[in-house]
Structure 1
Amino acid sequence: MHYFGVWFVVLAAMLWGISGGLAGILMEKGWDPLVISFYRGAVGLVCLSIWLMLRPKPKGEENKRKTILWSVLAGIGVAGNFSFYFLSISQSGVAVASTLMYTAPLFVFMISFFLNWERATTFKVVSIFVVMIGITLLTNVFEVGLGSLNLIGILSGLLSGLSYTLFIFGFKFATEHGRPPFVLTTAFAAFTALMLMIIDLEEMVSVLYSDDLIWFITLGIIGAGISFFAYLEGLKKTKASLAAVIAMVEPVTASLFGVLILGEVLTFIQVVGILMILVTITLLSKKQS
């Protein structure tokens, strides 16, 4: 059963990584990153709603007011995470965007530190500096004169990680008062409502009549439907510390997709930066867990 849980988490991380690659394909076809983000979440909402309806309602129902409040906050985090992640992909590529998003555990620690939920240790402080060096190498900041610095891509990638942090806190507090399936469904409902207010509605409707509709549906099913179900099922049988290490599969999968499928090119220095970030964040996440 333990290994069953591990493979569920691995599956979720791989699907999240692949979803970044699929989004890259859709962007190459000319679709707006925000519209792609909307369909990922909206299709995911349908999948999660079905999951919620099939799950029996436990006795002693959750505190719905607090659950909904924190779930909506988590939904805002999802909206920012998906949107900034796909925007970063459009500007900097899948490999860079996925690695920058993976800085989320670092933001979790920094926020926890400033709120006095956690104390700083030598290891955690050193981790921050190592990740900063890794980001510098990954984004080629030192070669700004060669035009390799893309501020929009870099900031979007970091904002996607910060938004993911908001989702982590929202989801954490929401599940203290309610069931994960209900929390996720409510979060994605909030996500969908928010995105409808900011996306190009005309382009959103045009997707329904395009040849790429199947790609959008596939993205939503694997990037928000099956993946979240698999991750939560996996966590039931997997230690959080182990899940933190397995999560590294996501940016690695996304980076490989970008290089092998989309033809992205990484320099040796960028590869070193990716490895520094992934290894350090993974160790930090494991220690946090």
Structure 2
Amino acid sequence: MRRFAGVGLVMLAAICWGISGGIADILMSKGWDPIVISFYRGAVGFVCFLAWFLIRIKQNWIISGRLYIWSLLAGVGVAGNFTFYFLSIEASSIAVAATLMYTAPVFVLLFSFLLRIERSTWFKWGCIFGVLMGIILLTGAYNTESISVSFLGAAAGLAAGLSYALFIFGFKNASSIGKPQTTLTTAFFSFCLILFLFMDKGEAGAVVTSSDLGWFVLLGLVGAGISFIIYVIGIRSTAPTTASMVAMVEPVTASLFGVLILGDHLTLIQILGMVVILSTITVLSVKQSE
């Protein structure tokens, strides 16, 4: 029952991430730089986690080198995931970038197998294959005639997937050592520090006095402040491979957000991709609960 609850929390966090993708799309359509948007998403989340940490600082403060190393690696993974994802979109297309980023379960499974955290089974490989097929159908990456993939686009997309795997492992290991408050505060401190070095400082400062500040705050609350608290709690009782695959509900949520809020249209093949993803996640969740 506890495992099933863990999978449910990870899925809920992924839904929040999908919604935050729609909010980010609104901000990008207003002309804001993707890196600045990502920074504020993490910065608002960091403020929430720091406040949560300070409420009971004596209980949350833990002196453990391994805890802070894993937390820092998780922050590097989140920053790398966002940065390489945007680079891949710029160099190729969003369809290619999304498909390559969601190869993360393959990296997670390989690392889990090499580190002897999990056993490699045909069932897990079947779930990975099913989810990836669903992502390809959903994003339209199967249409090779209309997609031009550069080496930089492909490399950046795979790096985004590898970064995603890194932050899953980082959060998983850090959460097993210390409290979620400590893990999230440390991870997002490193996240903000890294993106601060790369973003446009002038544009970031303009956000504070702009009429879009409310969108940035909402993005940070939904995309980090609430979702990552739920995620860290859920991943404590969820295997890394399962967590990475269940989180694939994010692109489905983002697509639905686009249809219902932004007026986008889905083809029959894209709807089929959603069904494949959700069906695979459902089967995986039932198996995990058993």
Q: Is the shorter-chain TM-score for this pair beyond 0.5, marking a shared fold?
A: yes
| 1:179 Cα deviation from its structure 2 partner | 1.8
Q: Which moved more, 1:213-222 or 1:273-282?
A: 273-282
Q: Give the residue type in structure 2 aligned to 1:162.
A: L
1:266-281 paired onto structure 2 within 5 Å = 266-280=266-280
| Structure 2 partner of 1:219 | 219
| 1:255 Cα deviation from its structure 2 partner | 1.7
| 1:125 Cα deviation from its structure 2 partner | 3.0
CA–CA distance in 2 between the matches of 1:224 and 1:79?
Answer: 13
**Would you say the 8 A contact 2:17–2:227 is kept in 1?**
yes
| Structure 1 partner of 2:69 | 69
The 3 A distance-change label for structure 1 pair 287 and 163 is farther
| Structure 1 partner of 2:190 | 190
The 3 A distance-change label for structure 1 pair 136 and 268 is same
Superposed CA RMSD: 3.7
**Would you say the 8 A contact 1:99–1:277 is kept in 2?**
no
| Structure 2 partner of 1:35 | 36
| 1:127 Cα deviation from its structure 2 partner | 3.2
| Structure 2 partner of 1:123 | 123
Q: Give the residue type in structure 2 aligned to 1:72.
A: L
| Structure 2 partner of 1:164 | 164
Number of positions where the alignment pairs a residue of Structure 1 with one of Structure 2:
283
CA–CA distance in 2 between the matches of 1:195 and 1:98?
Answer: 21
What TM-score comes out, normalization by structure 1 length? 0.79
Q: What are structure 1's unaligned runs of at least 5 residues?
A: none
| Structure 1 partner of 2:48 | 47
| 1:7 Cα deviation from its structure 2 partner | 8.0
| Structure 2 partner of 1:178 | 178
Name the SS of the counterpart of 1:265 in structure 2.
Answer: coil
CA–CA distance in 2 between the matches of 1:68 and 1:213?
Answer: 32
Deviation per residue, 1:184-231 (Å, 9 max, x gap)? 100000001100111111211121221111111111122111222344
The 3 A distance-change label for structure 1 pair 267 and 100 is farther
**Would you say the 8 A contact 1:139–1:154 is kept in 2?**
no
**Would you say the 8 A contact 2:102–2:132 is kept in 1?**
no
The 3 A distance-change label for structure 1 pair 9 and 112 is closer
Name the SS of the counterpart of 1:197 in structure 2.
Answer: helix
| 1:264 Cα deviation from its structure 2 partner | 2.5
**Would you say the 8 A contact 1:88–1:157 is kept in 2?**
yes
| 1:31 Cα deviation from its structure 2 partner | 0.9
Q: Which moved more, 1:156-165 or 1:62-71?
A: 156-165
**Would you say the 8 A contact 2:172–2:235 is kept in 1?**
no
CA–CA distance in 2 between the matches of 1:10 and 1:122?
Answer: 23
Q: What are structure 2's unaligned runs of at least 5 residues?
A: none
| 1:54 Cα deviation from its structure 2 partner | 1.0
| 1:40 Cα deviation from its structure 2 partner | 0.2
The 3 A distance-change label for structure 1 pair 287 and 76 is farther
| Structure 1 partner of 2:228 | 228
Q: Give the residue type in structure 1 aligned to 2:208.
A: L
**Would you say the 8 A contact 1:87–1:156 is kept in 2?**
yes
The 3 A distance-change label for structure 1 pair 63 and 8 is same
CA–CA distance in 2 between the matches of 1:215 and 1:172?
Answer: 30
CA–CA distance in 1 between the matches of 2:282 and 2:89?
Answer: 22
The 3 A distance-change label for structure 1 pair 56 and 193 is closer
Deviation per residue, 1:14-69 (Å, 9 max, x gap)? 3222111100100111111111000000111011100001135339x634322211
**Would you say the 8 A contact 2:14–2:227 is kept in 1?**
yes
Note if 1:19 corresponds to 2:48: no
The 3 A distance-change label for structure 1 pair 142 and 7 is closer
CA–CA distance in 2 between the matches of 1:100 and 1:273?
Answer: 16
